[in-house]
């Protein structure tokens, strides 16, 4: 049994297809995946990027929810300090209603100063904003009146999920781990040591550890960009998109140690880095059957929809018949 996943960050660099074509393609692919037993679609969030990286994952989640019936739609993660928490509670509730209760929410504090500057938000106040935002989402989704900034408010309609969607906290610091223990519904850190801090704090607070928690880690291939009968040709066709994707990510993180995306100088170096995978159908079958998850990024870096669909159609014809997808 394997969980099949898709991920879309909707980069649309100038040298590739236009954004409208990529967004239409992503929605069509989500509907395609939903009919074939895929378990989830993941949507991240970033702002002020050179290629239009997905800035509105809640809107995208609602669109996917309207086109699908079964897949979970994971917003991972919402940059919570950039939102008015009441408005975010309303928008997420509507997306959850449209999807029939299939929205999963992870929140994070963010780290790119230009994103905070765009919204005229002080990056140094993000910890306080996280505290307020998490509690506000949880209270708002009860549908009952509650105190917010010195006045009584009520947020309706409620989300479809009962008692409410979970608010999972993502983070990369001990402060995030302790915040998740105090007020979150779970914790998804990058580093295992942070999860240990979270567990220690939960024990101190006398709280049970939520099921299914733990550090963010690949339980199987998760950065697959194509399945191909001719990987050499496919690498050549999609390499410009992958180079762009890796270069921008690395510029955000400074290529620091521990980052998934490292600075590279040539296509050959990028391919050798293992940051992306192009698999033959046989290799894809073997990898999926040996894994808990199998994750596609079919439009990575703004890959041309025709190339992307060729990969998914090959997966449908020669890989999927040999798998047992689970939701």
* Residue-wise pLDDT tens digits, 88-101: 999 999 999 999 99
- Position 261 scores a pLDDT of 58
Every domain of the chain and the residues it spans: 3-205
Q: What is the pLDDT of residues 282-318, one digit of tens each?
A: 999 999 999 989 999 999 999 999 999 999 999 999 9
Angstrom distance (rounded) from CA 59 to CA 261: 27
Within a 10 A sphere around the Cβ of 60, how many other Cβ atoms?
23
Cβ burial of 263 (10 Å; 0-12, 13-18, 19+) is middle
d(CA 232, CA 299): 18
The answer to whether 198 and 219 are in contact (CB under 8 A) is no
Q: Does domain 3-205 have CATH number 3.40.30.10?
A: no
**Tens digit of pLDDT for each residue in 222-232?**
689 999 999 99
pLDDT of residue 274: 87
Please list the helix, strand and coil fractions of the chain in percent, rounded to the nearest 5, in that order: 45, 15, 40
Q: Determine the 3-state secondary structure of 129 from DSSP.
A: helix
Which token pair is 191?
């580093």
Residue 51 and residue 84 in contact, taking contact as beta carbons nearer than 8 Å: no
| 201-210 residues labelled b (16+ CB within 10 A) or e (exposed) | bbeeeeeeeb
Contact call for residues 270 and 235 (beta carbons, < 8 A)? no
Would strands 3-7 and 293-296 be described as parallel, antiparallel, or unpaired?
A: parallel
The bridge status of strand 103-108 relative to strand 187-189 is: unpaired
Integer Cα distance of 68 and 62 in angstroms: 10
For β-strands 293-296 and 40-43, DSSP reports them as: unpaired
Share of the chain above pLDDT 90, in %: 86
The average confidence (pLDDT) of the chain is: 93
Q: Out of 2-16, 166-180, 209-223, 229-243, pick the least confident.
A: 209-223
- Summarize the confidence of residues 42-68 as an average pLDDT: 97
State both tokens at 44: 């991240």
Residues 6+ apart with CB under 8 A from 282: none
Q: Are 48 and 118 in contact, with CB atoms under 8 Å apart?
A: yes
Angle at 83 between CA 79 and CA 88, to 5 degrees: 100
pLDDT at 251: 87
Q: How far is CA 304 from the centre of its chain?
A: 21
Q: What are phi and psi of 301, to 5 degrees?
A: 70, 10
What pLDDT does residue 304 have? 98
Q: Which residue has the higher pLDDT, 107 or 255?
A: 107
Q: What is the DSSP letter of 163?
A: S
- What is this structure's pTM? 0.94
């Amino acid at each position: 049994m394997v969980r099949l996943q898709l991920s879309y960050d909707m980069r649309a660099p100038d040298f590739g297809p236009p954004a409208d074509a990529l967004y239409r393609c992503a929605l069509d692919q989500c509907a395609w995946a939903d009919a074939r037993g895929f378990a989830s679609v993941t949507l991240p969030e970033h702002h002020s990027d050179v290629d239009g990286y997905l800035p509105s994952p809640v809107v995208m989640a609602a669109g996917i929810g309207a086109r699908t019936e079964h897949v979970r739609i994971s917003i991972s993660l919402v940059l919570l300090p950039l939102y008015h928490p009441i408005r975010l509670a309303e928008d997420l509730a509507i997306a959850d209603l449209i999807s029939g209760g299939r929205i999963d929410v992870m929140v994070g504090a963010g780290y790119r100063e230009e994103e905070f500057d765009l919204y005229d938000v002080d990056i140094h106040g993000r910890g306080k904003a996280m505290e307020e935002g998490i509690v506000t989402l949880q209270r708002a989704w009860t549908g009952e009146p509650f105190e917010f900034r010195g006045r009584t408010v009520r947020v309706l309609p409620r989300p479809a999920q009962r008692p409410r969607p979970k608010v999972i906290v993502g983070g990369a610091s001990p402060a995030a781990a302790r915040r998740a223990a105090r007020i979150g519904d779970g914790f998804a850190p990058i580093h295992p040591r942070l999860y240990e801090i979270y567990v220690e704090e939960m024990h101190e607070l006398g709280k049970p550890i939520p099921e299914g928690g733990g550090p963010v880690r690949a339980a199987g291939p998760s950065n697959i960009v194509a399945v191909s009968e001719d990987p050499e040709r496919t690498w050549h066709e999609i390499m410009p998109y992958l180079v762009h994707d890796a270069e921008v990510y690395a510029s955000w993180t400074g290529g620091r140690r521990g980052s998934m995306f490292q600075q590279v100088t040539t296509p050959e170096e990028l391919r050798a880095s293992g940051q992306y995978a192009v698999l033959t159908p046989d290799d894809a079958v073997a990898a999926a059957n040996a894994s808990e998850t199998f994750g596609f990024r079919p439009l990575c870096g703004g890959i041309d929809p025709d190339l992307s669909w060729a990969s998914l159609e090959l997966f449908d014809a020669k890989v999927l018949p040999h798998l047992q997808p689970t939701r």
